[in-house]
Amino acid sequence: MSISENLHVIKDRLPAGVKLVAVSKFHPVEAIRIAYEAGQHIFGESRMQEISQKYPLLPQDIEWHFIGHLQTNKVKSIIPYTHTIHSVDSWKLLSEIEKYASRIGKRIRCLLEIYIAQEDAKYGLSFDECRQLLAGEQWREFNFAYIGGVMGMASNVEDENQIRKEFKSLKLFFDEIKNDYFSDNNDFCEISMGMSGDYKIAIEEGSTMIRVGSSIFGDREY
């Protein structure tokens, strides 16, 4: 199937309120343009250089989401291009985003990446690390880097029950911190979970934002 057919298959199944981030990493600008013309305006990238190269070649109303691991020394370069950063996994990173976003007066939506998988290789805050970050309360003083929700990746396994359990744990955690820190804050509303292999489960478990790459664009060539 073509990129636009793939897109429509996914979009037609999306319940109201669930947004699609089309993950275009490692795919060329032409592929992104096809998806854009088929009505997709939110794209996800995971490398600073790739996003900075693609950005000037594509329509300016694209909403770019950064989904990859972000090093603090790359924050400055990524700020001008991004609308949302899904991978905020430390206080240091959040404060760097605030620092550079304030320099150009741009608000950046930050999602706290939470470690929910059974695997070692994934990034993210543990539930307790995240509680500690929020308990610090300093994030409330930020005017540009604002916390818009949480992000998580399930284990890369076949076992549906395992995946479902991990997504459930993220939804529960979201509800907890919404209640404890953001009950009067409408910015905090996103649960970014679900990829090509598991987005249907993620939606059933309360995802508001799925990040889908290969089911739209095909396999990546690294």
Ligand X SMILES: *Cc1c(COP(=O)(O)O)cnc(C)c1O
For the CB of residue 96, give the shortest distance to ligand X in the complex, in Å: 20
User: Which of 46, 82, 84, 207 touches ligand X (CB under 6 A)?
Assistant: 46
For ligand X (CB under 6 A), the number of binding residues is: 14
Pairing of strands 19-23, 84-88: unpaired
Query: What is the helix (H) or strand (E) element at residue 25, kind and residue range?
Result: none
Q: Which residues pair with 150 in a beta bridge?
A: 112, 191
User: Could you say which of 154, 195, 202, 203 contacts ligand X (CB under 6 A)?
Assistant: 195
Task: Please identify, among the stretches 9-17, 97-105, 114-122, 208-216, the one whose residues bind ligand X according to the rule CB under 6 A.
Answer: 208-216
Closest approach, Cβ 211 to ligand X, in A, equals 4
Residue 205 burial class via C-beta count within 10 angstroms: exposed 0-12, middle 13-18, buried 19 and up = buried
Contact present, 194 and 203 (Cβ < 8 Å): yes
Binding mask 25-44 for ligand X (x = CB under 6 A): x-------------------
Q: Which among 146, 136, 147 is positioned nearest to 112, based on CA atoms?
A: 147
In residues, how long is the chain? 222
Q: Are 103 and 82 in contact (CB under 8 A)?
A: no
Distance from CA of residue 200 to its chain's centroid? 17
What is the rounded CA–CA span in Å between residue 87 and residue 2?
Answer: 30
Chain positions 121 to 180 lying near ligand X, rule: CB under 6 A, are 153
Q: What x/- string results for residues 60 through 99 when contact with ligand X is judged by CB under 6 A?
A: -------xx-------------------------------
Nearer to ligand X among residue 206 and residue 218 (C-beta): 218
Site track 9-28 with ligand X (rule: CB under 6 A), x = hit: --------------x-x---
Question: Hey, what are 35's tokens?
Answer: 């998806």
The stretch near ligand X (CB under 6 A) out of 71-79, 92-100, 128-136, 205-213 is: 205-213
Task: Check residue 212 for interaction with ligand X (CB under 6 A).
Answer: yes
Phi/psi of residue 135, nearest 5 degrees: -65, -25
Among 74, 157, 196, 200, binds ligand X (CB under 6 A): 196
DSSP bridge pairs for 152: 114
x/- mask, ligand X, residues 48-67, rule CB under 6 A, reads -------------------x
Is residue 163 a contact partner of residue 157, using CB atoms and an 8 Å limit?
Answer: yes
CB of 120 to ligand X, least distance (A): 16
What residues line the site for ligand X (CB under 6 A)? 23, 25, 46, 67-68, 153, 195-197, 211-215
